[in-house]
Amino acid sequence: MPKLDIEAYLSERKALIDRSLERYLKQSEQRPRTIVKAMRYGVLSGGKRLRPILTLASGELFGAERKQLLLFACALELIHAYSLVHDDLPALDNDDFRRGEPATHKLFGEGIALLAGDALLTEAFQLMSRPEAVRSLKPGLVLELIYDISRAAGADGLVGGQAVDLEAEDKQADTAAVEHIHARKTGALICVCAKVGAKIGGATRQELRRVERYGGYLGLAFQIADDIMDAAGHGGEGRAGSEKKKATYPSVAGLGAARKRARELLDRCLKELDPFGKDADPLRAIARTIVERAL
Amino acid sequence: MPKLDIEAYLSERKALIDRSLERYLKQSEQRPRTIVKAMRYGVLSGGKRLRPILTLASGELFGAERKQLLLFACALELIHAYSLVHDDLPALDNDDFRRGEPATHKLFGEGIALLAGDALLTEAFQLMSRPEAVRSLKPGLVLELIYDISRAAGADGLVGGQAVDLEAEDKQADTAAVEHIHARKTGALICVCAKVGAKIGGATRQELRRVERYGGYLGLAFQIADDIMDAAGHGGEGRAGSEKKKATYPSVAGLGAARKRARELLDRCLKELDPFGKDADPLRAIARTIVERAL
């Protein structure tokens, strides 16, 4: 394998994901126009598509085909997008902007934004269960993936993490508490993105455990890196401008300690890929790209 | 079959559903306490369980066993409960009370209520995809049911209806527009409750179409009946006290016309059951109980 051009790799895959999302979120006659517009805005107005790219890369490492991976990759991005739309609402982070653009509720109103988030979450499960999904995968595996993803997205994972995050606001937190929140709020979904790809590719249990650990460390490192970017004023995924005071690794331990911890997690994450040799270069490059921008 | 004691029938089944929901929503170590408390409150603080009872009755008409039906029946109730928790939020209906008790956000705050709704919706899909689901049903059928339910719950159905409802607020509406909203907002989920039971029971395509029409008419009649109860001050499912002005059948056409229309829809709904003879008595009694209280 020639040396990987990670910029080209990421932009080719982002374009692929964007095209697929665009197709899946098409206006249909049955759907009210406003809700579709708000759903599309919440998904298509920006984003690096790191989560679905992770699913593709992890799947390809184990020999999965793109057409087997795309539905799930896109469903995972819809779940990520819904969580941001709801997170930005006044009831949670009260952010007026997301990636420099107005938040969904600033354009469509709080009611429609709330419903658009609900619709995106539901749409993710509709995507994964549509007849197309079982054309190239066994129904039993599809069900298992839906289960894994729902666990990562719900009270055991992402939503649970958001609830703990909300309760920790304006309270004293230590680095352990912050990591506990991040492991759920950010880590669970990133981890399942990698896991889903590996399962589709037919990874062994041992390989799966490695991929899960890779995803777990990466999820944590990602959130710390994002908070470092915000704290340093370089614009992370969007906490800057939030009116609420969140416990972050840099705010609790300082920028230096946060950078050290992110580096440590990146190293651990990369170490999990050792047995896969050069085939895992895309997963390595993705992890580096995510974390090293903040170091 | 002896004459059905509908009161006893409904209360026995409600108790069964309540016990199952209670079991599925148990606190676990992994889940933050607050989110579980809010989820449980949103589901367990009341409700007639008509939707899951409909799934049981429809399934039993076609010979399905309870253990095959219960997971889906409960998942459908979780989706109903999530929609109420979100509906009551200030961003939508801004209702302080639900069935005479404080709305979830009045007890837990708007942020946690929003997240509890998200968690309940996700939990519904987790329930339907858990390994237990395929112990008594084929994975392909389980996937098909998940697909049907996600369509009924999302932008094509319930959430889409809520969006149109929100946009119609304080605007002039006619009965056709009101029925269009209700067909989605209330009808889609009630219809899929009946459909899921019939599919699990192995209904033929023709039988399935009858059950779907039964559910469609019933859903509409149910919403009109509920709005009649509210308008007449007898307490429907909870619109009374809402600060926003919603278009309802009684508000648009008057109480008399609303009662006439509800009766007409009930008759059509019952007619669909004719070929099933006495075996369909539970489905008949459920429909009558839902609609006739308002006539």
**pLDDT confidence band for B27 (50 / 70 / 90):** confident
Residue A246 inside a domain? The answer is yes
Prediction pTM value: 0.96
* Mean of pLDDT values over B203-228: 97
Q: Could you report the per-residue pLDDT of A103-115, keeping only the tens digit for each?
A: 999 999 999 999 9
Residue of B nearest to A158 (CA): B119
| Mean per-residue pLDDT of chain B | 93
**pLDDT confidence band for B246 (50 / 70 / 90):** confident
**Residue B3 confidence (pLDDT):** 79
A164: which chain B residues are within 8 Å (Cβ-Cβ)?
Answer: 32
* Mean of pLDDT values over A206-226: 97
Residue A1 inside a domain? The answer is no
Closest partner residue to A126 among B30, B92, B147, by Cβ?
A: B147
Domain count, chain A: 1
Mutate to test the interface with B, among A33, A126, A242 (most CBs of B within 10 A): A126
Dist. CA B159–CA A32, nearest whole Å: 10
* Mean of pLDDT values over B115-121: 98
**Residue B244 confidence (pLDDT):** 58
In the block, tokens 């969904």 appear at A104
B155 near A CB under 8 A: yes
Dist. CA A217–CA A92, nearest whole Å: 26
Per-residue 3-state assignment (H helix, E strand, C coil) for chain B: CCCCCHHHHHHHHHHHHHHHHHHHCCCCCCCCHHHHHHHHHHHHCCCCCHHHHHHHHHHHHCCCCHHHHHHHHHHHHHHHHHHHHHHCCCCCCCCCEECCEECHHHHHCHHHHHHHHHHHHHHHHHHHHCCCHHHHCCHHHHHHHHHHHHHHHCCCCHHHHHHHHHHHCCCCCCHHHHHHHHHHHHHHHHHHHHHHHHHHCCCCHHHHHHHHHHHHHHHHHHHHHHHHHHHCCCCCCCCCCCCCCCCCHHHHHCHHHHHHHHHHHHHHHHHCCHHHHHHHHHHHHHHHHHHHCCC
Range of the domain at B199: 6-292
Helical segments of chain A, H only: 6-24, 33-44, 50-61, 66-87, 104-108, 110-129, 133-136, 139-153, 158-168, 175-182, 188-200, 205-231, 249-253, 255-271, 281-292
Cβ–Cβ below 8 Å for B125 and A123: no
For the ranges A47-56, A79-88, B168-177, which has the lowest average pLDDT?
Answer: B168-177
Closest partner residue to B126 among A119, A151, A162, by Cβ?
A: A151
How many beta carbons lie within 10 A of that of residue B253, not counting itself? 16
Residue of A nearest to B112 (CA): A163
Residue of A nearest to B29 (CA): A156
ipTM for the complex? 0.95
Residue B73 inside a domain? The answer is yes
Residue B269 inside a domain? The answer is yes
Q: Which residues 90-109 on chain A approach chain B with CB closer than 8 angstroms?
A: 90-92, 105, 109
**pLDDT confidence band for A247 (50 / 70 / 90):** confident
Q: Copy the structure tokens of residue B207.
A: 């039988």
Specify the higher pLDDT residue, B112 or B294.
B112
Q: How many CA atoms lie within 13 A of B240 on its CB side?
A: 15
CATH of the domain at A215: 1.10.600.10
Cβ neighbours for A92, distance < 8 A, ≥ 6 positions apart:
A86, A162, A166, B111, B114, B115
Residue B234 inside a domain? The answer is yes
Does A242 score more than 70 pLDDT?
no
**Residue B1 confidence (pLDDT):** 54
Cβ–Cβ below 8 Å for B151 and A125: no
Bridge partners of B102? B97
Bridge partners of A98? A101
A267 near B CB under 8 A: no
A115: which chain B residues are within 8 Å (Cβ-Cβ)?
Answer: 86, 92, 159, 162-163, 166
Closest partner residue to A119 among B39, B122, B159, by Cβ?
A: B159
Cβ–Cβ below 8 Å for A31 and B160: yes
A146: which chain B residues are within 8 Å (Cβ-Cβ)?
Answer: 125, 129, 146
Q: Which residues 157-216 on chain B approach chain A with CB closer than 8 angstroms?
A: 159-160, 162-164, 166-167
Residue A153 inside a domain? The answer is yes
A121 near B CB under 8 A: yes
Residue B1 inside a domain? The answer is no
**Residue B240 confidence (pLDDT):** 44
Residue A163 inside a domain? The answer is yes
**pLDDT confidence band for B34 (50 / 70 / 90):** very high
Closest partner residue to B39 among A142, A151, A155, by Cβ?
A: A155
